Amino acid sequence: MVITQTLAGKRICITGATGFLGTAIVERLLRSVPHCEIVVLIRKGRRSSAEERLQRDLLRNNCFDRLRSELSNDFEEVVSRRLSVLSGDVTKDTLGLDEDGLQTLSSCDVVIHSAATVSFDAPLDSAVEVNLLGPARVRDAMMKARSLFKDASASSQAEMISVSTAYVTGNRKGDAREELSGEDTLASQLNWQEEVAAARRLRSDADAESRRPERLRAFFNQAHLELGAAGTQLIAKRAESLRSQWVKDQMVEAGRARAQMLGWPDAYAYTKALGERALVDFSALDSASPIPSITIVRPSIIESAFKEPFPGWIRGFRMAEPIIISYAKGLLKEFPGVPEGIVDVIPVDLVAAAIIAIAAERLRSSLEQVPPPRKEDASSRSTAPLAKASTAPASRKKGGSSLRTEGRTASATTEGSPQEPNASCTVYHVSSGSTNPLRYGRLVELVRSFFGEHPLYDTHGQPIMVPAWSFPGRGRVQRQLERASKILSAGREVLARLPSHSHLGDLPVKLENRSTEVSRALEYVELYGAYAETEARFRQDRLIELWESLTPEDRSEFLFDPRSIDWEMYVSSIHLPSVVLRSRVRTAPSSKRPSRSRSKLEGILSPDRKAAVFDLEGTLVDTNVVESYLWVAARLLPSGLDRARLLARIGTSLPSWFLLDKRDRSDFLRSFYKLYEGAPLERIADQVGELFVNVLLAKAYPEGLARVRKHRHAGHKTVLVTGALDLLTIPFRALFDEVIASSMSVTNGILSGQLTSPPPIGEARSIVISEWADAEGIDLDEVVAYGDSSSDLPLLSIVGYPVAVNPDVPLASEARRQGWHMEHWTKSSSVTHLLPRPRSSAKSAPELALGIAELLSRSNKGGSR
Amino acid sequence: MTTRPGFVLEIDRSSPPMLFWKGEGFGLEHLPPSSRVIYPPEPLPPLSNPRAAIRRALEEPLGDCKPLSALLKPDMKLTIAFDDISLPLPPMRSPDIRQLVIETVLEMAAEAGVDDVVLIAALAVHRRMTEAELRHALGSRVYDSFAPYGLLMQHDACDEDNIVLLGHTEAGEAVEINKRAATSDLLVYVNINLVSMDGGHKSVATGLSSYRSLRYHHNPATLANSRSFMDHHHSELHHSNWRMGRLIAKSGVSVFQIETTLNTNTFPEQFGFLQRREWEWSVKDRAAYLATSSLLARTPLQLRRRLFHSIRSPHALASVQAGEVEAVHERTIHHIHRQQLVRVEGQSDVLAVGLPYISPYNVNSILNPILVASLGLGYFFNMYKGKPLVRPGGVMIIHHPTPYEFDIVQHPSYIDFFEQVLTETKDPVEMSEKYEEAFAMDPWYTHLYRTGHAYHGVHPFYMWYWCTHALEHLGAVIIVGGDKRAVHRMGFKVASTFNDALEMATDVVGADPSVTYLHTPPLLLAEVQ
């Protein structure tokens, strides 16, 4: 066992340990290299320390299940003895390490740098910080640590293994060798400092652009359209998040465009490629070391484990997985790709094993003071190291870049004349393409036949037929999807502008779902399309050479020979079952997997909740204040002529009310309630019972009423909150513990038309409910709230359990974004027209008639408000 | 003028297809040869002068009872209770028979100088009537003289302040009735005895009782042993009511019972074909049938409902009798039998019925699935005296579209019963033990019953108990044309055509089943020998 012997007693530092590959390396070292120590560099989270993240994000992963069961009770002891954590951040100079941290780092024999922003659509600047500058920063910190705490002439030289990607070669065709990009390539000609500076400048430019008045207005308008009458606070919040999202989108787009212009598929590959250059340039200036030891490992697309720790182990739902599941669900009707192209996939355990073997190899050869095999000359470009650059005067020829970290500016300068390289670097491809290629056409065939045999099931329990892909060009698929996306967003906009949504049923929700599907498909095609079209073949000569040099024991313990993979077996029996299992999809017709909405409903009705708040109009009953008013007024008006006049008056006011309602519902209510001015309270009160039966109850959603009762049954307090007049809601008091409604002042039994306090609508509603909860000693996190429209958003966003019922478009979008529970309730057949009504009891209500007649004449004179 | 009695037709090759009610519509079905069709007797001639007949009945009471005029005293407390919207079916043309009777009673009370008079609609746990319905039943003159002064009440089985306990029967049944009725010097009860189940001691003991008292006879055990409840001598339901009625009388409540029977002239002349025998249809009847059925086929359901519920029946008064409860009721039963009884020889394997759009509990509303069960298995199955028309283990085939629809205003607790109770159990005994009380005591249902127009929370349970006898007796229930989801929820089978239903029935009763078709409404009562 040469590898374990070589690594015994060594201390290995790993960045990116909570990532997919990092987790696999840590686990493998713990399990297969029993006498090494491991230091993991973890960034502390917003709310959790690095130590907490180690426990939560690393050790709790099922990757460690095998080790845990093998060690049983010793697991904790072994981990605490061999694994230590360093709190640090690769986007900061010296990784944000303090003196102790640097000392620990200096004691490491190997540093494996696997921290990266793997997202293909990361904003350019953050990809630059992590992927481009990250490796150089790690190197810088290592050098600093060594100079501080070690004798410079110490023979033991720390090895650095930087994980990159095979796709740094860009969109090239043919063989790609295991070497740094040569003179002829763009990557070597580009000045990475300039790219860094440009990315930072772009961020501040985009931010400045986003703050221009017309942009700000557009964000506000957009937020208003999306949220409707949700109130100023929520709209402001949304507008600000639209703004920062816009800046982010600009940066994503900038990254993608820059990368594609330069011949890389995306910003990830582009920043990784430049990161390699930066690392090499940097190390070249490390004069202290006669043999700078840099190894770059370039895996291709890393997928689920082939054998270790168990077949199919995977972490995160990554690149290929969502595409596979979308395909199996029948959502992805087409995907571009070249059938004979190579999809270069490599199982994660092979990559981890290769890195460990490479680390051992490097240590062994540095001990022997033998230059590593096939040493590659580093770039002919020269740079000032970060550490030196920070003190160097800024001299610009091609332009400089600044690395702003922790408030100080480090500028690196590029001299026009190339310096002699004194850095060298070894590159390994950990991939499969040239020794055991998996063709795209074959992969699609395997996936298709897998889901033919093991289909997913739809909600009706029917198997989903997977579509046959015809391998169209990327452009065509993209155009089709863009067209569909445009049509859908136009549809949503139309719906959002419609006055009422109650008759649309669950159309807004369906449209929302469909449009999410299409935009996701479009995203996949844009992001990953290039990877199915790659025609590069990554050579693995050096990797194979290393493999051939291993002892048989090492080979059996650290398998990384890509030729050993039987793709058909791997895809059909390991990878796809694992992906399907992890994605928690319906895999059998009767599989009563507890649906997410059912478990949400259980949470909502759990006895642990304390209260349930219901909106009335639109949520519990399919009617509104106008209808209630008309019903009451029509019953009390004496003749058909008066009724016609009333209708005409209301008809002319409708457009302005409609606009008012769109803008602010409480303004609408204030304006509308003026109609009640002069009406006798007693006469209206007489009508309440009949109004309830004929309008409110008749148009109620039976599921809604049943839900209120279920909450009561579960011991929750039930609250009705409505902009309707309190006297009209009296019959609902039997169903609710608390009714919060608008109330109107009354003088001498005559309604004034003026509300006594702001109607509990929109933001006022959220305030009223939090005050109520306070008074009752109820935690809002334990409150369930039901609403149907964007004006309920302020309320829904303050409670722990928001429910969107028959939501309008803005609410449906918001609910989807936030993962709120959504329900569709249906009305029962309304048959109250069968109940005979008495003829107009006009003579009993002359007062109201007078009041309304007076109002009519006044409004004729004064115009409608 | 003589009318033809009921008739049992044996189907042969020359028989025309038979008319079946199918909810808000009807259709013709061919019955297999040798099936029996039971036709009701033709309508009896009406009393020529109803007002005079009523006055005579009040003045010449039956049994141990003084004439009404002799019972009325100036300072007395008089209460007049009357049957609610569930009778008659369909609602009759104006003037309603209750109006005629109550106007006569009020005239006599006025003549006697009685001041303290209150009218009470005897709802039991039915829904409150609307103003328009009350005006229709009582006439606007009566309505306007009582309602505005709070003297027209609707009985409230949940109003603890207006319920009084009169005592317990020898079987231990607590008897609670309306306080105003119980504390009056005279309680006049105005009945419309549409079927033989109505009236007798059931009028006061059920119509004016509390939920607590109803439980003694409205339960699965009692209703399973009411065979049938159209024959009060063999009905546990009635035995319990009779015990209660006698206790009411013994405890000093003086009841003056007025019972009226109607003839079976059920539908207006334009629908005359509905109450004529098919082979006797005139050219006009055929044309009317064709025109009506093709019109209905093109009319949306909502409109059809409206159309049918606007039908006012030309029912006419066939008899009126007043006085002591039991004596009056025996005479009433005699009159009902005269109008409705048909003698039938023996039982058959299959009983076929067609359900109309209306039952006692959905006047101006929807005949929801539970009411379909109660009308078919509760009412039509029980339209017998002696033995059921169908043999034990036989099959009942019911025609009705049975839509999955409920009226949230009138039947709120039905919705929850259908969704929450029937999904758990279809066994009347189990549901009565596990769920009845929660529904009956539910504050929201109670609120809707007391203030709106909703049936009491317990009512869907009663409707299901109503089916107990039929469910125990029958081997299978098949609903032709029913909504699958709704029918399956109730544990019945659906057939798309009558022939399919017959085919399915052979699985239960064997090949070549004997079939009896109960050709109703108009109503009939089969006396099975």
Say yes or no: A540 and A524 in one domain.
Answer: no
| Angle in degrees, CA A528, A534, A535, rounded to 5 | 170
Which pLDDT score is estimated for B468? 93
* B38-64 average pLDDT score: 95
Which candidate from A693, A706, A829 shows the least CB-CB separation from B453?
A693
Copy the structure tokens of residue A229.
């009458």
Q: What is the mean pLDDT of residues B424-453?
A: 94
**In whole numbers, what is the pLDDT of chain A averaged over residues?**
79
Query: DSSP characters for A416-436?
Result: SSPPPP--EEEEEEE--TTTS
Model confidence at A633: pLDDT above 80? no
Could you give the angle at the alpha carbon of A801 between the alpha carbons of A603 and A704, nearest 5°? Answer: 85
Is the CB of B136 less than 8 angstroms away from the CB of A836? Answer: yes
| Interchain pair A834, B444: CB under 8 A | no
**Maximum average pLDDT range among A231-240, A507-516, B97-106:** B97-106
- Best A825, A832, A835 residue to mutate vs chain B (most B CBs within 10 Å): A835
Phi-psi label, residue B510: left if phi above 0, alpha if psi -120 to 50, beta otherwise = left
Same domain, A447 and A304: no
In a domain, A15, yes or no: yes
Q: What is the pLDDT of residues B289-314, one digit of tens each?
A: 999 999 998 998 888 998 999 999 99
Residue with tokens 């009504």: A837
pLDDT for res A837: 57
Which residues does chain A have within 8 Å of residue B132's beta carbon, measured at their own beta carbons?
835-838
A405 assigned to some structural domain: yes
Q: What tens digit of pLDDT does each residue of B252-262 get?
A: 999 999 999 99
Best probe of the A interface among B444, B445, B447, B449, by most A CBs < 10 A, is B444
Q: Looking at A242-246, A495-499, A735-739, B486-490, which range is the least confident one?
A: A495-499
- Written as six digits, the tokens of A201 are 């400048």
Average pLDDT over residues B234-254: 95
Which residues share a beta bridge with B209?
B177
B-chain residues near A698 (CB < 8 A) = 408-409
Report for A199-208, A376-385, A823-832: range of highest mean pLDDT: A199-208
Give how many domains chain A has, as a whole number: 3
Q: Is A685 on the interface with B (CB under 8 A)?
A: no
Q: Distance (Å) from the C-alpha of residue A835 to the closest C-alpha of chain B?
A: 5
Taking contacts as CB-CB distances below 8 angstroms, the residues of chain A near B448 are: 697, 734
Range with lowest mean pLDDT among A485-499, A704-718, B87-101 = A485-499
Nearest CA in chain A to B438: A713
Percent of chain A with pLDDT over 90: 18
Identify whether the C-beta of residue B394 lies closer than 8 Å to the C-beta of residue B474.
yes
Q: Are residues A700 and A585 in the same domain?
A: no
Give SS3 for A814: helix
What distance in Å separates the CA atoms of residue B25 and residue A746, rounded to the nearest whole number?
52
pLDDT at A834: 62
More confident residue, A444 or B68: B68
In a shared domain, residues A358 and A466 = no
pLDDT at B280: 92
Q: Is A462 exposed, middle or buried (0-12, 13-18, 19+ CB in 10 A)?
A: exposed
pLDDT band at B278 (very low <50, low <70, confident <90, very high): very high
- Using a CB-CB distance cutoff of 8 angstroms, which residues of chain B are in contact with residue A830? 408
Answer whether residue A515 is part of any domain.
yes
What secondary structure letter does DSSP report for A63? G
More confident residue, B260 or A192: B260
B115 near A CB under 8 A: no
Read off the CATH number of the domain in which A294 is found: 3.40.50.720
CB contact under 8 A, B409 and A831: yes
Q: Does B312 touch chain A (CB under 8 A)?
A: no
What DSSP character marks residue A700? B
* pLDDT mean over A832-844: 50
Q: How far is A470 from chain B (nearest CA, A)?
A: 43
Confidence category of residue A421, pLDDT binned at 50, 70, 90: very low
Q: What is the DSSP secondary-structure string of B231-267?
A: SGGGBHHHHHHHHHHHHHHHTT--EEEEEEEE-S--S
Nearest CB among A692, A697, A829 relative to B405 is that of A829
Average pLDDT over residues B94-105: 96
Q: What is the pLDDT of residue A355?
A: 93
pLDDT at A71: 86
Picking from A686, A693, A707, A708 by the largest number of B CB atoms within 10 A of its own CB, the best residue to mutate is A693
Instruction: Give a yes or no: residue A553 inside a domain.
Output: no
Of the ranges A537-551, B42-56, B469-483, which one carries the lowest mean pLDDT score? A537-551
Q: Chain A contact for B127, CB < 8 A?
A: no
Answer yes or no: is pLDDT of B152 > 90: yes
- Contact at 8 Å (CB) between A383 and A285? yes
Residues of chain B positioned with their CB less than 8 A from the CB of A829: 302, 366, 405-407
Which is higher by pLDDT, A412 or A645? A645
Confidence of residue A693 (pLDDT cuts 50, 70, 90): confident
| pLDDT for the residue A280 | 83
B215 HSE (CA, 13 A, CB side): 16
From A161-165, A328-332, A784-788, the region with the lowest mean pLDDT: A328-332
Pair (A815, A798) in one structural domain: yes
Do A74 and A123 sit in the same domain of this protein? yes
Question: Is A383 part of any domain?
Answer: yes
Query: Which DSSP letter does residue A781 get?
Result: G
Would an 8 Å CB–CB cutoff place B131 in contact with chain A? yes
Distances, alpha carbon B201 to alpha carbons B185, B239, B384, in Å: 18, 9, 21
Q: How far apart are CA B67 and CA B281, in angstroms?
A: 47
Looking at the complex, does the CB of residue B83 fall below 8 Å from at least one CB of chain A? no
**pLDDT level of residue A853 (50, 70, 90 thresholds):** very low
pLDDT value at residue B368: 95
N- to C-terminal Cα distance for chain A? Answer: 90
Of A709, A731, A829, the CB nearest to B407: A829
pLDDT at site A859? 40
- Indicate if the pLDDT at residue A831 is higher than 70: no
Helix (H, G, I), strand (E, B) or coil at A344: coil
Write out the two tokens for A194: 């300039």
* B452·A706 Cβ contact <8 A: no
Task: Give me the domain span that covers residue A711.
Answer: 601-862
- In A248-329 the beta strands, taken as DSSP E runs, fall at 294-299, 301-303
Indicate if A726 and A848 belong to the same structural domain. Answer: yes
**A481/A618 same-domain check:** no
Structure tokens at B143: 């309505």
Residues A531-578 have pLDDT tens digits of 777 777 888 888 999 999 989 988 888 999 999 999 999 988 888 888
Cβ contact B153:B121 at 8 Å: yes
Structural domain contains residue A556:
no
Nearest to A702 among B415, B452, B453 (CB): B415
Instruction: Tell me the β-bridge partners of B526.
Output: B342, B384
Confidence band (pLDDT; 50, 70, 90) for A332? confident
Q: Scanning the structure block, which residue is given the tokens 């409840």?
A: B229
Count CB-CB contacts under 10 A for residue A642: 18
Predicted confidence at residue A413, as pLDDT, reads 35
* CA gap A574, B165 in Å, rounded: 77
CB contact under 8 A, B444 and A700: no
Does the pLDDT of residue A852 top 60, yes or no? no
Q: What band does A842 get if pLDDT is binned at 50, 70 and 90?
A: very low
- Which of the two residues, A422 and A246, has the higher pLDDT score? A246
Residue A637 has pLDDT above 80, yes or no: no
Residue A658 resides in a domain? yes
Q: Are B262 and B194 in contact (CB under 8 A)?
A: yes
Q: A214-218, A314-318, B129-133, B381-385: lowest mean pLDDT where?
A: A314-318
Is the predicted pLDDT of residue B180 greater than 50, yes or no?
yes
Q: Say yes or no: A377 and A351 in one domain.
A: yes
> Is B338 in the A-facing interface, judged by CB distances under 8 Å?
no
Out of A215-229, A635-649, B39-53, B481-495, pick the least confident: A635-649
CA distances to A13, A17, A111, A801 from A114, rounded to whole Å, are: 10, 7, 9, 39
Of A315-324, B2-11, B292-301, where does mean pLDDT reach its minimum? A315-324
User: By the CB < 8 Å criterion, does B305 face chain A?
Assistant: yes
pLDDT of residue A286: 60
Longest Cα pair distance anywhere in chain A, in angstroms? 113
Which residues of chain A lie closer than 8 angstroms to B415, CB-CB? 702, 706, 828
From residue A573, give the alpha-carbon distance in Å to each of A67, A441, A450, A576, B85: 23, 18, 9, 7, 71
| The pLDDT value given to residue B57 | 96
- Verify that A445 and A537 share a domain, yes or no: no
B412 contacts A705? CB cut-off 8 A:
yes
- For residue B406, give the nearest of A697, A828, A833 by CB distance: A828
Q: Are A828 and B365 in contact (CB < 8 Å)? A: no
A865 pLDDT more than 60: no
Average pLDDT, chain B: 94
Average pLDDT over residues A686-691: 84
Q: Is residue A554 part of a domain?
A: no
CA A646/CA A270 separation, integer angstroms: 70
Which string of DSSP letters, residue by residue, matches A830-842?
Answer: P-GGGS--PSP-G
The answer, for B128 touching chain A at a CB cutoff of 8 Å, is no
Residues A267 and A413 in one domain: yes
CATH number, domain with residue A826 = 3.40.50.1000
| Interface A:B, Cβ pairs < 8 A | 81
Residue A399 has pLDDT above 60, yes or no: no
What pLDDT score was predicted for residue A835? 61
If asked whether residues A233 and A361 sit together in one domain, one would say: yes
Where do we find the tokens 């306070």?
A774
User: Is residue A110 over pLDDT 70?
Assistant: yes
Spatial CB neighbours of A72, under 8 Å, sequence gap ≥ 6: none
Query: A166-178: per-residue pLDDT in tens?
Result: 888 876 777 888 8
pLDDT in tens, B323-374: 999 999 999 999 999 999 999 999 999 999 999 999 999 999 999 999 999 9
Nearest Cα residue in chain B from A706: B416
- What value does the mean pLDDT take over residues B463-478? 95
- Shortest Cα distance, chain B CAs vs residue A81, angstroms: 58
Average pLDDT over residues A213-219: 93
Q: Is the pLDDT of residue B393 over 70?
A: yes
Instruction: Give the one of B419, B442, B451 whose C-beta lies nearest to A689's C-beta.
Output: B451
Task: Classify the phi-psi angles of A316: left when phi > 0, otherwise alpha if psi is within -120 to 50, otherwise beta.
Answer: left
Strand partners, B310: none
Are the beta carbons of A834 and B306 separated by less than 8 Å?
yes
Edge to edge, the sheet with strand A83-87 lists: A83-87, A37-42, A11-15, A110-113, A159-163, A294-299, A424-430, A376-377
Residues in B closer than 8 angstroms to A705, CB to CB, are: 408, 412, 444
